[in-house]
Structure 1
Amino acid sequence: MSKNKVVVIAGPTAVGKSEIGIELALHFGGEIISGDSMQIYRGLDIGTAKVTLAERKRVPHHLIDERDPAESYSAAAFQKEAKERIKNMNDDGKLPFVVGGTGFYIRALTRDLDLHETSADEGFREEMEQYAQTHGTQALHEKLQAIDYQSASRIHPNNLKKVIRALEINHTTGRKQREFSEQETQPSPYDLALIGLTMERDVLYRRINERVDQMVADGVMEEARWLFEYAPEDSQAAQAIGYKEFYSYFKGEYSIEQAVEQLKRNSRRYAKRQLTWFRNKEKMKWFDMTSMNKEEKIQEMIEYIEGKFS
């Protein structure tokens, strides 16, 4: 039985994923599934660099504007909904393009990770955080050593978040973190064409800074104000880069100039983390977009996709 086909277009913020995705989807008569964890939320358009309504008329887009900002959204929910859309598109003879930069969401989908077994246990996390406060991070790390020595040897005692997560996986599933991680080495259930877009760092950082300035001009602060007043501050949407940076300004703790500079810095740091993730986690065909000779690059991508699925 043949596998369903999927094209993934990933890379750091501001590298041009959306534009390339639209051009490739138009060429192949495909449709786009957003692989961005924040574009799922209605009303968050400017800060998430969401494609315009005109662009969505050119190519159908999925998993955009399908959740209220007060709702939570997870990799498991993305995986389930994206799998359904991929199957439907393949059944209809259309090529699905997953376009976005949320690395774990894309990995969960392309490796079909068993996510339901690692659900969060907030009570357990709070208990472990309290234990660390009372007894110290080293004592908590020793608890991990006792049940999962391999994970403990890879996680520094001071990395409290990762120590607690490894303990939580064992607590909720009875399995060691390494057993879960080994799923990532399993073959993909899809016939995949993985495209990574990259760019020289100084050029990318300049584009990020310019994008932030344009977002401010387009009214991202008004979107952030609406989100600040509408959704709980600990909601997932409120944690998005592009919005959370303005909260301190709204509270009178930062100037607007400080908030904008923090947004630029956080966006640059996020781009660096995205590149590290995709280079370490995925075997992608990389295309350097620095020269911006888009027509040539797109033709190379078309040939790559055709070669993968021929």
Structure 2
Amino acid sequence: MKTKVAVVVGPTAVGKTALGIQLAQALSGEIINGDASQVYRDLNIGTAKVTKEEAALIPHHLIDIVPPEAPFTVADYQQKARQEIQAITDRGKLPIIVGGTGLYIKAALYDYRFDDQGEDPELREALSEWAKREGHEVLYRKLLDMDPKAAEKIHPNNVKRVIRALEKAMSGKGGGHAPSAGPVPLYETAVVGLTMDRTDLYNRINRRVDEMIDKGLIQEAKDLYDRGLSGCQSVQSIGYKELFRYFDGELTLPEAISLIKRNTRRFAKRQMTWFRHQMPVTWFDASEAKINFSKILDFIAGKLTL
């Protein structure tokens, strides 16, 4: 019998964290983070990381597991997530993966090799902006550090190829992984997707960015900037990369905040597209007036025969 895993996915700001906690309480579960940015320590406000109060309600795993200067790939996540799934199951609890990084979640759930995985447009955009700010030589040196074999085959001035190779290296798709035989599910899964009217979601995103600013996002980003982390993978996340440009004098603060909101809205749109095409998701309306927790609970219990 396959191990049972519940999954909660959807765009940023749609309400995944709260639902995950509710489900874990109702189903005797423990939560595994499925967000690429939340694995990093010291990136708290900008990643909408679970609060200490929320974490006290239910055990959360794969949060704050690496320092912000360390690389972390989808292959790393795959290994660690599967270890947590097994450990939680062994404790007699239900593993519940909650997050919006589809590539990480899919890699954990499927017998998934890395050569056939989709591209990461957000990371590519961040690398392109990095090259514009600091010069393509910085990217090439980063590639030399992460994947010297790939770097040997690319001229330093071929920025597009350098960015593509870095994209692969940072997401775990480089380094000579074996070809995929096609993704095969390793677990018995019930995948819940949260969605809502786009206008409502975009309004929530705008409000949440304002709340992050009020909670101290600027100082959090400045602390990371002062540590010399501008070239690190962790701070290419939305919210940090825009504020780093403000600290560099490229943007005014209002421009940076406006850009955070715009980039987050675009990211949410890309997330929805990805999940609709890449995973077998059953969608539920997450609008406050429409969300029906009992229906979601019944779906998971029925799908996993709990």
Fold shared, TM-score > 0.5 on shorter chain: yes
Match of 1:161 among 149, 159, 164: 164
**Residue 47 (1) aligns with residue 46 (2):** yes
**What is the one-letter code of the residue matched to 1:38?**
S
- Please give the secondary structure, in 1, of the residue aligned with 2:154: helix
Residue pairs, 1:207-286, within 5 angstroms = 207-286=204-283
| Residue type at the aligned position of 1:31 | E
Give the structure with higher Rg (CA): 1
Find the counterpart in structure 1 of residue 147 from structure 2. Answer: 121
Structure 1 partner of 2:6: 7
Q: Give, in angstroms, the shift of residue 59 of structure 1.
A: 0.5
The unaligned stretches of length 5 or more in structure 1 are: 141-159
What does residue 16 of structure 1 align with?
15
* Equivalent residues of 2:115, 2:174 under 8 A apart: no
Following superposition, the deviation at residue 230 of structure 1 comes to 1.6
Change (3 A) 1:248 1:56: same
Measured after TM superposition, the shift of residue 132 of structure 1 is 4.8
1:303 aligns with 2:306: no
Q: What is aligned with 1:100? A: 99
Letter in 1 for 2:164: K
Change in Cα spacing, 1:171 to 1:53, as seen in structure 2 (3 Å) is: closer
Q: Is the 8 A contact 1:196 1:284 kept in 2?
A: yes
Describe the superposition over 1:94-139 as per-residue Cα deviations: whole angstroms up to 9, x where unpaired: 0010000011001101113234999963442463355857xxx8xx
Report the Cα distance in structure 1 between the residues aligned to 2:205 and 2:267, rounded to whole angstroms: 11
Find the residue that maps to 2:280 and give its secondary structure: coil
Q: Which amino acid aligns with 2:245?
A: S
Whole-Å Cα distance in 1 between the matches of residues 224 and 147 of structure 2? Answer: 27
- Structure 2: runs of 5+ lacking an equivalent: 118-142
For normalisation by structure 1, the TM-score amounts to 0.81
Q: 8 Å contact 1:7–1:194 — kept in the other structure?
A: yes
Moved over 6 A (4+): 116-120
> 1:90–1:96: 8 Å Cα contact kept in structure 2?
yes
Tell me how large the CA RMSD over aligned residues is: 2.9
- Aligned match of 1:146: none
Separation of aligned partners in 2, 1:174 and 1:248: 35
Change (3 A) 1:174 1:48: closer
Q: Structure 1 residue 66: deviation in Å?
A: 1.5
Structure number with the higher helix fraction is 1
Partner residue, 2:134: none
> In 2, are the aligned partners of 1:231 and 1:238 still within 8 Å (CA)?
no
Identity fraction in percent: 41
